[in-house]
């Protein structure tokens, strides 16, 4: 059997957070978020260009022609062009 609850109002605020204030703007958090997005895009572009150049090279070897003469898809050319290392 449950005990009867007293009819007293309850305070739902946590005592540790009563005087909690954010005194400055969260630039560090946004900076870290943006740097992780940029790093992720850089890694995706690098591995995408690696896979694209490998596909182009394999098609050229199968056809017995030079890589520059091989026909490639638009997205393969775009990834190879976007990556400064390829």
Band (29; pLDDT cuts 50, 70, 90) = confident
51 inside domain: yes
Number of domains in the chain: 1
74 inside domain: yes
34 inside domain: no
Residue 82: which of 55, 37, 43 has the closest Cα? 43
73 inside domain: yes
pLDDT of res. 54: 94
Give 32's contacts (C-beta < 8 A, 6+ positions apart): none
pLDDT tens across 36-67, in order? Answer: 999 999 999 999 999 999 999 999 999 999 98
Please give the residue that has the higher pLDDT: either 45 or 70: 45
Q: By residue range, what is the domain housing residue 56?
A: 43-86
55 inside domain: yes
* 86 DSSP assignment: -
pLDDT of res. 35: 97
């Amino acid at each position: 059997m449950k005990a009867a609850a007293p009819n007293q109002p309850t305070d739902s605020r946590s005592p540790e957070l009563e005087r909690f204030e954010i005194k400055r703007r969260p630039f560090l958090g946004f900076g870290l978020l943006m740097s992780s997005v940029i790093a992720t895009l850089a890694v995706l572009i690098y591995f995408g260009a690696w896979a694209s150049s490998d596909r182009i090279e394999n098609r050229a070897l199968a056809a017995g022609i030079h890589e520059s003469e091989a026909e490639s898809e638009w997205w393969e050319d775009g990834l190879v062009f976007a990556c400064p290392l390829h």
